[in-house]
Amino acid sequence: MGIVLLGPPGSGKGTQGARLSERLGVRHLSTGELLRAEVDAGTDRGRRVAGYLDRGELVPDDVILAALRPALAEARAAGGYVLDGFPRTRAQAERLPADDLAVQLDLPDDVARERLAGRDEGRSDDTDPDVIDRRLRVYHADAGALLALYRDRGRLVTVDAARPPDEVEAAIDAAVAAAD
């Protein structure tokens, strides 16, 4: 089973990804977390990507794919995954199986901005308003094409993410159950 969570920064991909993967008994893979762990550990890859994360820009595809590949293979062998933060672009989506289900966490930008400004997870890319704006722009630059890809495959469900986490969770559960 493969599920990908799509949505702007602040839409709850991390929270919902953790909850959904636990309920389904599959792995939760967050590319943002993978990269931040490498930055914190001071690996070569971490040094290479730190600037992109600080600026709110996408890291190059070859780097993100190399970081994700082993975790993805392991998750597949263990029964599946809920991916959060990947794919960000159509090209990235084409690296995943065509029958993966995409769950769009739909959230207006003004709500995303408010949430990010109030979030305190020690992430420097969450506090600077210019970086938040860039992350939203980067999201919207590719979101249309990415959503269209899953919609055309008949593998897109959309959930209103501007609600409390428990309600979003229930809506995701219902959408995933109906899609399978």
* Residues making contact with ligand AMP (CB under 6 A): 9, 31-32, 35, 52-53, 56-59, 64, 85-86, 88, 92, 125, 135
- Residue 28 sits at the vertex; the CA angle it makes with 26 and 32, to the nearest 5 degrees, is 165
Rg (CA), the chain: 15
Q: Please, which residues bridge with residue 159 across strands? A: 105
Comparing CB distances to ligand AMP, the nearer of 62 and 180 is 62
Q: Least distance (Å) from ligand AMP to the CB of residue 64?
A: 4
Q: Which lies closer to ligand AMP via its Cβ, residue 29 or residue 101?
A: 29
Q: Which amino acid belongs to residue 139?
A: Y
Backbone dihedral region for residue 51 (phi beyond 0: left; psi -120 to 50: alpha; all else: beta): alpha
Kindly tell me which of 9 and 12 has the beta carbon lying closer to ligand AMP: 9
